[in-house]
């Protein structure tokens, strides 16, 4: 009798472990699969044609981060670089913050532009004439941090973001189109 009870216990335990493994794997591959965040950069209004423009200029901005994941993301201090024709003409300091799971946050910061470097670029005046006073920039950001799932599971992660920014000098407006992706490191890579 004892052997029969032991066999039934082992079979039930094995089936239970198989079912738990299948459910866990299904959840990891569907619901908990990392999704790329959505990032938008919004610049404050500034009169680019005013006489107050200096060689170094600071523009206020708000970065909106939308996290569609079931894990929160705590990133470290970072710097985003603003490029004009492969020349760094500005930077944006980004302070560390927690982006909670399935939520949206606004990060207030400022873009520090080196107008002198921009004016020295030989492409600047050509672009001003050919693009009807619209200047196109690119921005790249790397946010290292940790993905936090259920408050206990912490995985090393990095979010990469690249933005195309168009500044219209005449209308004093700026538009951005950002693409981002997240990379998780499961085994301390």
Contact at 8 Å (CB) between 149 and 70? yes
- Please give the residue range of the domain that contains residue 165: 36-185
Buried residues in 119-151 as b, exposed as e (16+ CB within 10 A)? eeeeebeebeeeeeebbebebebebebbbbeee
- Asked if 42 and 5 sit in the same domain, the reply is no
Please, what is the average pLDDT of the chain?
A: 87
Flag whether pLDDT at 188 surpasses 80: no
15 & 91 share domain: no
| pLDDT per residue as tens digits for the range 134-156 | 889 999 999 999 999 888 888 89
Output the domain CATH number for residue 137: 2.60.40.10
The DSSP secondary-structure symbol of 44 reads P
Whether residue 85 is found in the same domain as residue 125: yes
Verify that 138 and 111 share a domain, yes or no. yes
pLDDT surpasses 80 at 168: yes
High-pLDDT (> 90) share of the chain, %: 49
- The total domain count for the chain is 2
pTM, two decimals, is: 0.79
pLDDT digit string (tens) for 34-53? 889 999 888 877 666 565 66
Contact 57, 91 (CB under 8 A): no
Q: Does residue 118 have a pLDDT over 80? A: yes
Q: Do both 20 and 63 map to the same domain?
A: no
**54 and 81 belong to one structural domain:** yes
Q: 118 and 136 share a domain?
A: yes
């Amino acid at each position: 009798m004892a052997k029969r009870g032991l066999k039934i216990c082992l079979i039930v335990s094995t089936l239970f472990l198989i079912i738990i493994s299948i459910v866990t794997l299904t959840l990891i591959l569907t619901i908990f699969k990392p999704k790329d965040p959505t990032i938008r950069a919004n610049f404050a209004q500034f009169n680019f044609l005013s006489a107050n423009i200096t060689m170094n200029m600071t523009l206020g901005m708000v970065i909106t981060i939308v996290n569609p994941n079931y894990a929160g993301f705590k990133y470290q201090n970072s710097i985003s670089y603003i490029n004009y024709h492969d020349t760094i003409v500005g930077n944006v300091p980004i302070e560390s913050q927690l982006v909670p799971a399935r939520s949206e946050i606004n990060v207030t910061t400022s873009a520090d532009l080196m107008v002198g470097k921009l004016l020295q670029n030989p492409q600047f005046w050509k672009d001003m004439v050919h693009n009807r006073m619209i200047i196109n920039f690119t921005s790249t950001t790397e946010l290292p941090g940790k993905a936090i799932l259920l408050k206990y599971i912490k995985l090393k992660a990095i979010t990469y973001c690249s933005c195309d920014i168009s500044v219209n000098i005449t209308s004093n407006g700026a538009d951005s189109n950002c693409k981002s992706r997240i990379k998780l490191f499961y085994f301390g890579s």
